Amino acid sequence: MAEHDELRALSPDAYSGIRSLLHEVAGIELGARRQELVKARVAKRLRALGLASFDEYVARLAADPAEVPQMVDVLTTNKTSFFREPAHFEFVAEHGIPRWRSAGRRLRLWSAGCSSGEEPYSLAMTLLAHIGDSAAWDARILATDISPRVLDHARAGRYGSGALWGLPASMKKHFEACDGEVRLRDPVRELVQFARLNLLGEWPMRGPFDAIFCRNVMIYFDAPTRSELVQRFRRHLAPEGWLFVGHCESLGPAPAGLRAVAPATYVRCE
Ligand SMILES: C[S@@+](CC[C@H](N)C(=O)[O-])C[C@H]1O[C@@H](n2cnc3c(N)ncnc32)[C@H](O)[C@@H]1O
């Protein structure tokens, strides 16, 4: 059998081993029919490790705990873009900034599941567009993700020039050309601090946060994991703090202690 034929053979046992480990470690539920996705993405790890089959790879995962984060890294979906779901950034400009201005110009935001940084940097650009003299503010954005690969990208703050398509000129000014790509300028980068964090694990920070963005992340989790996470977020919000989730992620009727105030936007009410 040629090497690529062997790579194509993902046995039901190997799929179920990878699926349950991903769920246990990262909360991500692949479902019963994502074999093609797993084959395409995990094949990279087989090649990197010189393994000939997915069964060997599953044995490697059991023997070498250091491989588990590598598996999670290749299996996470990192699709994102600047000002994705723009209504949330408009909400921050319209409701958040006036509130934080009158409350002493101090704010703490968290982008949980930030991928390659477009979401927290969009928040930073929104702040800079509306707060005036940033030196008069104590503003910080924490941005976390489980994947070291996307965090490296985010910290570099460099993107293909296509990332700017559709951005208004007032936001493009925050980028400078850099070796055929674009790079975010320092005032935007300085507002954001990146850290690796598994949302299912311990959270070293206590908060409270004035707003938490966790968008297009919980969609990959099962319902009990989502509910538990939403309550953890609630407890990390300041009173009246906002939780933003992806517009296609329904939390159902507003979860306990949260009230819906706009599409995919909840406020802590207890
Ligand atoms: C589709 S991206 C969403 C990025 C951004 N929030 C947005 O809406 O554009 C989902 C991100 O969640 C991260 N993620 C998945 N499971 C996670 C977990 N258990 N802990 C932390 N991050 C996780 C993935 O690595 C990925 O970068």
Distance CA(143)–CA(196), nearest Å, equals 8
For ligand 1, atom 10, which residue shows the shortest CA distance? Answer: 217
Distance CA(212)–CA(111), nearest Å, equals 6
What is the residue extent of each domain of the chain?
3-75, 87-268
Phi, psi of 27 (to 5 degrees): 80, 0
pLDDT of residue 3: 46
Nearest atom in ligand 1 to 116's CA: 27
Reported as a single tens digit per residue, the pLDDT across 113-127 is 999 999 999 999 999
Residue 223 CA, ligand 1 centroid: distance in Å: 16
**Which position among 41, 99, 101, 185 bears the catalytic label?**
41
pTM of the model: 0.94
- Tell me the CATH architecture of domain 3-75: Orthogonal Bundle (1.10)
Q: Is the pLDDT of residue 5 over 60?
A: no
Residues 116/76, Cβ–Cβ less than 8 Å: no
Region for 157 from its dihedrals, namely left if φ exceeds 0, alpha if ψ lies in -120 to 50, beta otherwise: left
pLDDT of residue 201: 95
Give the pLDDT band (50/70/90) at residue 105: very high
The answer to whether 189 is a known catalytic residue is no
Q: Is the pLDDT of residue 144 over 50?
A: yes
Query: Token pair of 23, please?
Result: 């769920």
pLDDT of residue 33: 87
Q: Average of pLDDT values for 240-251? A: 93
Residue 8: other Cβ atoms inside 10 A: 13
- Tell me the CATH architecture of domain 87-268: 3-Layer(aba) Sandwich (3.40)
**Amino acid letter, 173:** K
Residues 83/120, Cβ–Cβ less than 8 Å: no
The answer to whether 145 is a known catalytic residue is yes
Distance CA(242)–CA(234), nearest Å, equals 9
Sign of the Cα torsion 253, 247, 233, 73 reads: positive
Give the 3-state secondary structure of residue 117: coil
User: What number of residues does the chain have?
Assistant: 270
Return mean pLDDT, the chain: 93
Q: Which of 242, 248, 235, 249 is nearest to 265 (CA)?
A: 242
